[in-house]
Chains A and B, each alone.
Chain A
Amino acid sequence: MDSRNPDTARDEAPARDTARRILNLLFILNSSATPLTTEQIVSDSDLGYGSANRASDLKKFKRDREKLAERGIHVIEVREAGSQLNEESSWAIDAETTYAAAGSITRADAEALLCAVDECLARDEIPFRQGLLGIRRKLHRLIDPIADADEPSTPGDASERRGAEALWSAFVLKRKIRFTYLDAKGRESTRTLEVWGMFMQGGHTYFVGLDEQSGGVRTFRDDRIVRAWRPTGHYAVPPWFDIKSYLFLPFDLAAGMATPVSFALRGDCTHDEAEALTHGRGDLDYSNADSCWRWTVKARDLQAAAAFALAHHDIIVAPLSPKRLVDTWRHLIGKAVEAHA
């Protein structure tokens, strides 16, 4: 996949200048003992502002603060007590929201997180590897500032993850992204997506969001993303959207209405076992009368639901309802026995 679109090639010099200006803003605020005024900043041509157009420089300064904020570095306006509203603003790095609070997390807390970070880094399907490495470095810096943090090696082929990494970056920034996609039937199409969430299942990463081409919410698999362009255009994720409802089960993959189905799970099934089986979908209630768990979930494909119950019989004792599900389950058993007669 081409990770560098033609726009980048043309904009190399301005890109360097932009990067330098943002890093310089960080540098001077970080090294300054006192807040800097707006005038000190936007009139400084060495810093990267100081053009003939002050309004433009103020806009650049605002965008640069936003870029730093995306990276966790918060530049805030500082006003002294008693200052007038029309007095010029001063700016400083907000220490409380930017710098980690020393001593606020225990070594055990950091090690618990590091454990999960390292497990994630060993997985092929993760599109946020750099983010994990950043977390790792920061945690090590808090718990063991003297020692080097040995970075784990990256499994698999990095080129295979670029599409997923591009969609992940767009998701973090909440920017629409255009990409080419190969569906399960091998058909290629170009999509523009607002990524509302992502989930990992069965060794793949899936991106879910509003697809401009279809006008609906669609799911896209990481290894089918062919190429992606630089993201543009902001959006907000609707508050009603729940990514967990997209963790799919085999009986979801059919057209038609979804029917509530119920299964009995072993009475000694733990929460972890149930969660791994059900993906947190549906409702799970314990029945004292039957000494078992009752799992109710919606299914689009009753045959697939019956097959799922049989394949996971070590946890799913039996289907409960509707009668069609139970009959389908019996039918599958009967056909299998008949085939061995």
Chain B
Amino acid sequence: MPKSSKLSADRMVDAGIHLLEALSSAPDHILDRQEASRIIGVAPDQLPEVIDTLETLADRTSGARAVIEMTETHVHVQGNAALLQPLRLSVEESMIVEHMLDMLHLDDSTKARIRHGIMGDDDRGERGDDIAETSRYGTWLTRIREAIDDGIRCTLTYRSLNDDAARMRTIDPVRIDEERGVSYLIAWDVERDEERRYRLDRIRDLSFTDDSVVPHTVSAEKTADCLRRTGSVAHLRAADESTMQRIDWAGVGHIAPQQDGSYLFDVNYSSNSWLYDQVLAAGGELTIVEPAELRAGLAPYASILLEQPSVTRA
């Protein structure tokens, strides 16, 4: 394996501070050597360089010295001279946490506590507007994680694509997955006795019940696999390559280019109305080939859309 490059001054300072912090908080101030490299973000062969630098730290007035020992398996700090109290967040860390406070929908008093307690001093006066992202967590992330960690059965109010209105379900939450910029709760629907995926940003309400979860074996499957297992399948045609490239649906299966430049492809989907909406949005560049009854249902569906009061008024 090629040797890692020497650390720059900035990286050495970061690594040194992180290692002192990590050793200060580790049980008996001992860290596994591999873990130490990982914690401070350096390659294993760079760790000795960091420790060599820290071992030179000394105060000749007081006689204090940083004594850090490295064996084949562990790193250990001796004495108290090199121990650090828990530090506030750095400039970088404060920027990240400020963004998270924005995403998590925490109440003002919690935000104030966090800012006062651990965030760094920001004398630049620039906070909160540095980082943005499309909303993904909704309002219930913290409660969901608590339910997962403590094994609490919950009731969940949620509107799926096939529902006209949100309805309540009883679920055993299992884990949170992230896929293509969307966060999902993977849970067991108790009434239906099946695994389900729920977008976090569509959960309207979540309450704890007094019951504990019943352990279930849930799959590690992604949305595509879930659709393949539980959804319907349709055969579609995209008029050209640019239309095909714009399709980023999870359920797209086999794609067959045609001689006329069009593409035939399969799609697994869970909602007829969702599929019709995508076909209508393509304005004729996407057509349903099979099944015939699905194809025949497009025109009546489109008629209903066109007859909506807000549209007929426009």
Contacts and interface: CB of A to CB of B under 8 A. Distances in A.
A276 B302 contact: no
B44 interface: no
Contacts of B134: 200-202, 247, 276, 279
Contacts of B130: 171, 197-198, 237, 243
Nearest to A8: B8
Contacts of B106: 112
Nearest to B41: A130
Given A134-B90, A279-B134, A340 B295 contact: yes
Interface string B20-41: 0110011100000001001101
Interface in A183-211: 197-203
B237 to A, nearest CB: 9
Interface in A19-77: 19-20, 22-24, 26-28, 30-32, 40, 44, 46, 67, 69-74
B87 A310 contact: no
A333 interface: yes
Contacts of A87: none
Interface in B120-146: 120-121, 126, 129-139, 141-142, 145-146
Contact of A135 (B86, B96, B279): B96
A275 B103 CA distance: 11
8 contacts: A27-B58, A69-B91, A72-B93, A113-B104, A120-B100, A141-B86, A142-B118, A340-B298
A268 B204 CA distance: 10
A138 B89 contact: yes
A106 B106 CA distance: 13
Interface in A304-341: 307-308, 310-314, 317-321, 323, 326, 329-333, 335-341
- Size category of the A interface is 35 or more
B170 interface: no
A339 B279 CA distance: 10
A22 B57 CA distance: 10
Interface of B: 5-10, 12-14, 16-18, 21-22, 25-27, 35, 38-39, 41, 53-54, 56-62, 64, 66, 81-82, 84-97, 100, 103-104, 106, 110, 113-114, 116-118, 120-121, 126, 129-139, 141-142, 145-146, 159, 161, 165-166, 176, 178, 180-181, 183, 199, 201-204, 273-274, 277-288, 295, 298-299, 302, 305-306, 308, 310-311, 314
Interface string A81-104: 000000000000000011111101
Given A8-B8, A141-B86, A314-B277, A73 B137 contact: no
B91 A101 contact: no
B277 A104 contact: no
Contact of B202 (A113, A135, A138, A272): A272
B179 to A, nearest CB: 9
A308 B278 CA distance: 9
Nearest to B121: A97
A212 interface: no
A133 interface: yes
B314 A119 contact: no
Most chain-B Cβ atoms within 10 A of its Cβ — which of A99, A135, A139? Answer: A135
A1 interface: no
A339 B237 CA distance: 11
Contacts of A71: 13-14, 17, 90-91
